[in-house]
Amino acid sequence: MFKDIADAMREGFGMCLKEIKYLSERVKALEKKVGITTKQKGTSSQNTTSPSKPTLEHEGERVNGTNAGRKSLAEDKGPDVPAAVPAYASSSKDKAPEPSLVLLDKNQPTVSDLQKENARYEEKRDAAWALCRAKSDRTRKLAASQQSPYTSNNTARVIIPNKKLYQGYNPFAPIDKKKLKELADWLKTCPHYRTPVDKKPRKSKTWWYQILRTSLEWLDDCHIDAWINVLRKRYDANPQHFRSERMYFLDHLFAQQWRFNFKDFKDSEPDQNGLGRRLPGGAWNYYAGTIPSFCQSNKVWGTDIDDIYALVNYADTHWIAMWISIPKRHIVVFDSICSSISPEELDVVMEPFLYMVPYLLVECASSDEQCAQYSLEPFTYETLKYIECHALGIE
């Protein structure tokens, strides 16, 4: 941008110099043509003029043909005459030459035109400088929901699939209308089909699907576990469709129990090595991969599992998901509606997992060498949006 401005200014000054040179050459040629001489020191300062041309006397005639107190010759002869009438002057007794016309090219820019062009370029340059300064003054600031004492790099990122990165199925595929119609026809066979949802029995198939298909309706624990079972089933059948073969999907009971028993964990006294605290019931079974029982993995955390996915129910009003990375000692919170929970409340929700997961890895290690690989230091966490996209490797 600055190079273009400099080139334009250089070109404008060049045109100005050419115009000045052109005008000076014209003036010299005109003076030579009409016989105008310059006064010299030591010579006579009085010149004689020809009496045969009384209307063209006065040696001080201008190039454009104007004279004080009279109209120009171009105006007398009409608009087609672009030049002026030359004056007669002589420094000797010889007869002055005949008058001639000087034609000026209208296509050549004048000095005023060049000045206006330079002024326009300077105005554009100043506007460009002002825009650059305004952009450089902008600073990026994190939102209030992105501040946390546990956060190492808490920049919210939205995963938007703009190209086909999935290897197996597409989580954003449109709904099959044919299958949707088959489901609707099957639901009509239920005797409670037309019963209001708040009066339907919990075991009714129409109750479960009506809540699932209702926009902004609160999803119960059974809905969340059903979705996790679908992911677990797909992963068990085709692990190559996912981003890793060392991952594990947990049900809602994992987060529910660990949050409920975190107070007992903090209140229990550790031994001299920092161990011996009270863990929630079933912690070893989760660590060994024996629960959940559906599509049981039987893989050990840290040894066979690097990535753990789980869901958290916050106050029966909002669901969030977690990705626990054991090698990175880091937890990513997946929250599609970040405004539903404040940063302070999210810190309280995440605290049990930040402290108890590293403790479980050390407490349940099968050997001293394996125990030395881990630390009791708490994990860190950040926020993202979609858990399924991350599990499928869609960035």
Is the pTM higher than 0.85? no
Mean pLDDT of 136-157: 46
Per-residue pLDDT reduced to its tens digit, 307-319? 999 999 998 888 9
Tell me the H-state helices in 90-218.
111-136, 177-187, 205-213
What is the per-residue pLDDT for 286? Answer: 93
Mean pLDDT of 269-280: 90
User: What distance in Å separates the CA atoms of residue 315 and residue 2, rounded to the nearest whole number?
Assistant: 58
Per-residue pLDDT reduced to its tens digit, 351-366? 999 999 999 999 998 8
What is the per-residue pLDDT for 167? Answer: 59
Task: Specify the amino acid at residue 268.
Answer: S
The closest of 310, 298, 299, 288 to 231, measured between CA atoms, is 310
Sign for the pseudo-dihedral over CA of 193, 195, 200, 201: negative
The mean pLDDT of the chain is: 75
pLDDT exceeds cutoff 50 at 200? yes
pLDDT exceeds cutoff 90 at 149? no
| Cβ atoms of 90 and 46 closer than 8 Å | no
214 pLDDT tier (thresholds 50, 70, 90): confident
User: What distance in Å separates the CA atoms of residue 395 and residue 391, rounded to the nearest whole number?
Assistant: 10
Ranking 17-31, 178-192, 316-330 by mean pLDDT, the lowest is 17-31
pLDDT-above-90 percentage for the chain: 25
Domains of the chain as residue ranges with CATH: 244-394 (3.30.310.130)
User: What distance in Å separates the CA atoms of residue 118 and residue 136, rounded to the nearest whole number?
Assistant: 27
What are residue 235's phi and psi, to 5 degrees? Answer: -70, -40
| Cβ atoms of 232 and 292 closer than 8 Å | yes
259 pLDDT tier (thresholds 50, 70, 90): very high
Token reading at 225:
């576990």
pLDDT exceeds cutoff 50 at 102? yes
What are residue 175's phi and psi, to 5 degrees? Answer: -70, 135
